[in-house]
Structure 1
Amino acid sequence: MLTETGIRTQDVAPEDQFDHWREHLSKSYAPAEILSDRTSDFPASQRMLHLGAIRLWRTEHPQLTLRRTSKLVRRSDPEMYHLSLALRGTKTLALRNHEVHYGAYDLSLVDTSSPFVMEARPDDGQERVLGTGVLIPRTLLPLPDASADRLLNRRISGRDGIGGLLAAFLHRIWDDPASYCPSDGSRLGTVATDLLFALFAHLLDAEDTLDPETHRRSLVLRIKTFIHQHLTDPDLTPRTVAAAHHISLSYLHRLFQGEQLTVAGWIRHQRLERARRDLADDALRHTPVHAIAARWGFPRASDFTRVFTTTYGMPPSAYRNERRLTSTNA
């Protein structure tokens, strides 16, 4: 079964439920001011699935207003993207002087580094709002600021297209989380990351008018999505990436001049991260290090050991042992 945490405010006295909820949200998400027109009792629940660095959540609660102020951002910022899918109820989100209303099966994106105000209300005749979503570190989705600005607080359909695929993915996991084993968590986290990459690239590329810089960033994001999806392919190189996108190799290199890594460097970094994840996976403890390295595009074990040690400060075998000891002592 996947690692799951959660809360039911019904487990405490009615008069303590709202304070219990506020404290939980500040710890599980980010510090925020939380208000409600129902504080004498506050029947609410949250379930959280931990998929490596990614968390999937599902909540049900009465009306509330959540304010993430500039002061609270300065105090503590987990630097996460927060993608929400409304299932029941309505939501109003105000971010950077732009207010958007959301209904059922609308997706919305916020950034914990940006102040915002969110109000969620139940539908008529209902007592509680129902929603689900994803919390993902911004480092896993390295969007340029200009691209992120185009996606934040933007109504995205969760009924069709790639948004529909993401919504179906969330539904499928919550329908039967017990059917997955703990080692599936990081793999499902990879699927979620790939879907988010694909969704953001599609949205940026589908805009009617793209200035040259936005077009460049959109193309880079689509290229990174492609790389994510083909990391296990031993023939994945900058040349094959360029061919798959019908651009020249020199143009591909120019596209990445504004990035922190070259194309080859970005491919190598993503492969290293996947290999590091597998080395920490207890279900793969009997898989030889060289087999994990080969799976992620490092056919020569000595090359893998050298670059892994340079990047993470210890050889892969030592990293695996350290993670195993940490897991055993936890």
Structure 2
Amino acid sequence: MLLLDTSTLPARDRVEAFREVLTNGSTRNHRVIHEVPPEGLHGRMEGVQVGGLTVFTSQNTGFRLVRTPRHVRRESSPLVAVAVQPLGRGRFELEGEQQLVGPTDLMLNDLNRPHDFSWTGTAASKTVFFTHDQLGLPADTVRAATFRLRASPLHDLVHRHLTALFADADRLALDPGAPALAHATLELVRALLVSAADDRAVGRPVLADTLLTRVLAYAREHLADPDLDARRLAHVHHVSVRHLYQVCERAGVSLEQWIITQRLEGARAALASPANAHLTIAAVARRWGFTQPTHFSRRFREAFGTTPREWRQRRS
């Protein structure tokens, strides 16, 4: 949902409109300081609910957000924000520590603490918000993780997951799977925070609780790898194959069938895309982890009631 587009407003009204959206939205109770370039302030803000999670996007000219102890005291239900910076470089400061945030970084901001965030020139930020109750983590764990996200081996996995979520948030918000996606996002962020904080007392149960979510997220990113199987997934996540199967069984997930289904769905979409018209069916199959064309064709027909060739011809 579009919250603000300053291009539709007279220049004299833009600062007030910008501040109104920020101070009445998810970043309320901040002091907003604008950098107004010669061409004038401009900004575009959007917000959407994806399965109960608030996703907020802003692209605008330089500004600074300051949250003081007084602002914190005014807040009735402070949130935890996890953000990516797809354009420009942000500067985040909290309790004397600083972080520069670029396109490959995740930023964690507990709004229950005074902080200072800014950027210069036109830049963009995309953020998902969680309540402390949703995260279910001690405040000290969140605090310890704030400037240590890159130390976690889960950082890049969660970064890719959130980047994909942000890129298609409007469509995903309408999908029947949105609540499950929101739950998976929450679980991945919880796992990242306890990993980054190196909080072993909290980490063991949280990492155990989020194992299947992390395994399926990893598998989804490596569907093109022919050697993706239970043994590799167990090794990457430091558990035994037997334990992994037990976790899957409790959740009602057949791991091998889940991988096959995801690969087939990806290949079906790829075959229907004009962008792949120059590729042979075998080449598309290989891109989705199928090394044997005959095996791919058989599984495709079993799943969709048609051959890959027939499907492609009908969609062309």
Q: TM-score, normalised by structure 1?
A: 0.58
Partner of 1:221: helix, strand, or coil?
helix
**CA–CA separation in structure 2 for the residues paired with 1:218 and 1:101:** 27
TM superposition shift of 1:45: 0.9
Q: What corresponds to 1:164 in structure 2?
A: 156
Task: Give the Cα separation in 2 of the matches to 1:185 and 1:5.
Answer: 20
Of residues 222, 234, 239, the one that matches 2:207 is 222
Aligned-pair distance for 1:228? 7.3
Please state how far the C-alpha of 1:170 moved relative to its aligned partner: 2.9
Taking the aligned partners of 2:23 and 2:2, their CA distance within structure 1 comes to 15
Matches of 2:2 and 2:150, distance apart in 1: 28
2:158 paired with 1:173 = no
Which of 107, 128, 148 is equivalent to 1:134?
128
Please state whether the residue corresponding to 2:21 is helix, strand or coil: helix
Contact 1:80 1:138 in 2 (8 A): yes
Contact kept, 8 Å, 2:126 with 2:166, in 1: the verdict is no
Deviation at 1:164, TM superposition (A): 2.4
Query: Is 2:19 the counterpart of 1:26?
Result: no
- Equivalenced residue count is 215
Aligned 8 A contact 1:108 1:154 in 2: no
For the 8 Å contact 2:149–2:155, the answer to whether it is kept is: no
| One-letter identity of the residue aligned with 1:22 | R
Counterpart pick for 1:36 among 26, 29, 34: 34
The equivalent of 2:194 in structure 1 is 201
Equivalent in the alignment of 1:60: 59
Alpha-carbon distance in structure 1 between the residues aligned to 2:165 and 2:95: 33
RMSD (CA atoms): 2.8
Is 1:145 equivalent to 2:130 in the alignment?
Answer: no
Percent identity, please. Answer: 16
How has the CA–CA distance of structure 1 residues 192 and 38 changed in structure 2, closer, same or farther, with 3 Å as cutoff? same
- 1:2-17 equivalences in 2 (<5 Å): 4-17=1-14
- The correspondence for 1:190, drawn from 163, 178, 183, is 183
**CA apart distance, 1:172:** 2.5
Q: CA distance change for structure 1 residues 178 and 20 in 2, over 3 Å: closer, same or farther?
A: closer
Distance in 2, matches of 1:176 and 1:117, equals: 29
Larger radius of gyration: 2
Task: Give a deviation string over 1:58-115, Cα, whole Å, max 9, x none.
Answer: 2101111100111111112432100111112112111112222222221111111111
For 1:72 and 1:145, the matched residues in 2 are separated by 18
Quote how far apart the aligned CAs of 1:54 are: 1.2
Structure 1: state its 5+ residue gaps: 123-127, 206-213, 231-243, 247-330
* CA pair 8-78 structure 1, distance change in 2 beyond 3 A: farther
Tell me which residue corresponds to 2:45: 46
Q: Is there any run of 5+ residues in structure 2 with no aligned partner, and where? A: 216-237, 241-316
Q: Give the secondary structure class of the aligned counterpart of 2:178.
A: helix
Query: In structure 2, do the counterparts of structure 1 residues 156 and 78 end up closer, same or farther at CA, with 3 Å as the change threshold?
Result: farther
Aligned partners of 2:212, 2:169: CA distance in 1, in Å? 28
In 2, the alpha carbon distance for the partners of 1:174 and 1:110 equals 18
Following superposition, the deviation at residue 198 of structure 1 comes to: 2.3
- Match runs of 1:279-290 below 5 Å: none
Residue identity in the other structure for 1:190: H
Encode CA deviations 1:179-221: one digit per residue, 9 max, x unaligned: 442543322211211221222233234xxxxxxxx42122233
Distance 1:140-1:101 versus aligned 2 partners, 3 A rule: same
CA distance change for structure 1 residues 27 and 182 in 2, over 3 Å: closer, same or farther?
farther
Amino acid across the alignment from 2:138 = P
- Kept in 2, the 8 Å contact 1:109–1:154? The answer is no
- The one-letter code matched in structure 1 to 2:71 is L
TM-score, normalising length: structure 2: 0.61
CA distance 1:150–1:196, change in 2 (3 Å)? same
Cα distance change of structure 1 residues 147 and 173 upon mapping to structure 2, 3 Å threshold: closer
> Structure 1 residues 141, 13: closer, same or farther in 2, change over 3 A?
same
- Residue type of the alignment partner of 1:175: A
Residue 31 of structure 1 aligns to which amino acid in structure 2?
N
